[in-house]
Amino acid sequence: MIRLAAILPAAVLLASCAATGPFTGTASPADPYAGTPARLNQGPEVTYLCEDLTVVVVQYGQRTAIAKLNSGLDLKLPLQAVGSGFYATTTHSFQVRTGDGLWSVAPRPPVACRIQR
């Protein structure tokens, strides 16, 4: 009986670790999309030069894209349900096209952008 009392807490602790697995990030394991933009967006970073000379560096993630502008403004653009490759807020949007993109700041018309290699 004494051995069982000593082994039981260790078994419960070991079982709880195995059930949830390790977690090393800063976000809650229940919400894998919470956290800083750097943690959210671990996808590729692409630099675009637009016709109006705006430089947009876009780092793509699963649900958001981080757009860094040469003006110093950093924007978190959520992926929109209307189509693949369209990221937008109420005033800013970036739409990915094959090798190109469209950058838009409301109420101005979109500006064509090309990937910089």
Q: Assign residue 62 the CATH number of its domain.
A: 2.40.128
Angstrom distances, CA of residue 42 to CA of 37, 39, 64, 66, 109: 9, 6, 10, 10, 30
- Report yes or no on 77 lying in a domain: yes
Extended beta strands in 1-117, E state: 45-50, 55-60, 64-69, 74-78, 86-88, 92-97, 100-105, 111-115
Going by pLDDT thresholds of 50, 70 and 90, the confidence category of residue 82 is confident
**What is the model's pLDDT at position 3?**
52
The structural domain count of the chain equals 1
pTM value is: 0.62
| Domain containing residue 74 | 37-115
Q: Which residue has the tokens 């894998």?
A: 32
Judged against a pLDDT cut of 60, whether residue 43 lies above it is answered with yes
Going by pLDDT thresholds of 50, 70 and 90, the confidence category of residue 61 is confident
- Report yes or no on 24 lying in a domain: no
